[in-house]
Amino acid sequence: MKIMKVAKLKANFSQVLKDLEKGEEIVIEFGKGHKKLGVIVPFEKYEKKKRKIGILENKGSYEIVGDFKITDEELASL
């Protein structure tokens, strides 16, 4: 992970884009106090991954005992 001040980021924007293509993350710093404002991340890390449906199928089980009773009102109040 690279740390860059705003001025350096602006001056080297083409290189920043190349670093992003390589998967590098870049922290943006600002001011004399080196306040960290944010992180630029490659889009692949940002977008949500699609989840595979049914991945836990047949991995668990449950059993409801015969004397289990609950009213609709009790269920709604949980």
Q: How many CA atoms lie within 13 A of 54 on its CB side?
A: 0
What integer pLDDT is reported at residue 48 of this predicted model?
A: 75
Q: Which of 1, 2, 6 is nearest to 33 (CA)?
A: 6
What integer pLDDT is reported at residue 49 of this predicted model?
A: 75
First to last CA, the chain: 45
What integer pLDDT is reported at residue 25 of this predicted model?
A: 95
What integer pLDDT is reported at residue 54 of this predicted model?
A: 83
The CATH class that applies to domain 1-47 reads alpha beta
Tens of pLDDT along the chain (78 residues)? 899 999 999 999 999 999 999 999 999 999 999 999 999 999 988 787 777 788 888 888 888 888 888 888 887 888
Counting every residue written for the chain, the total comes to 78
* Ranges of each domain in the chain: 1-47
Q: DSSP assignment, residue 50?
A: P
